[in-house]
Amino acid sequence: MTDKELEEIGDKIVGVLKTIYDPEIPVDIYELGLIYDVFVSEENNAKILMTLTSPNCPVAESLPRDVEDKVKSLKEINECEVEITFDPTWTNEMMSEEAKLELGML
């Protein structure tokens, strides 16, 4: 698989991630800065390293499963693993300019 093909798959994954919203904040999880990294292997398996707004997040159980299911729905992806980390701890500084604007923080 070429770097360009991997990049295209990565872009598709990001597109899917932008359809998943935090239930408490009307911004998608990608723009919120909850996605730390997206890996795609040569075997078309994806690994998503992400965090939550807090360890007590009400969707701590369902959000990672939602991410996994939606990424696996891409025809290019065979498997998807979602790993949750709190290192570094999420802060609103991690949000994109678009998210900050949406929330009236700019």
pLDDT digits (tens, 9 = 90+) for 40-61: 998 999 999 999 988 888 888 8
Query: CA-based Rg of the chain, rounded to a whole angstrom?
Result: 14
Cα(59)–Cα(46) distance, integer angstroms: 21
Unique residue bearing structure tokens 């919120």 = 32
Is-cis flag, bond preceding 26, omega within 30? Answer: no
- 25 has a pLDDT exceeding 90: no
pLDDT at 24: 80
- Global pTM value: 0.91
The region that residue 82 occupies, defined by phi over 0 for left and psi between -120 and 50 for alpha, beta otherwise, is beta
Residues in the chain: 106
pLDDT digits (tens, 9 = 90+) for 9-20: 999 999 999 999
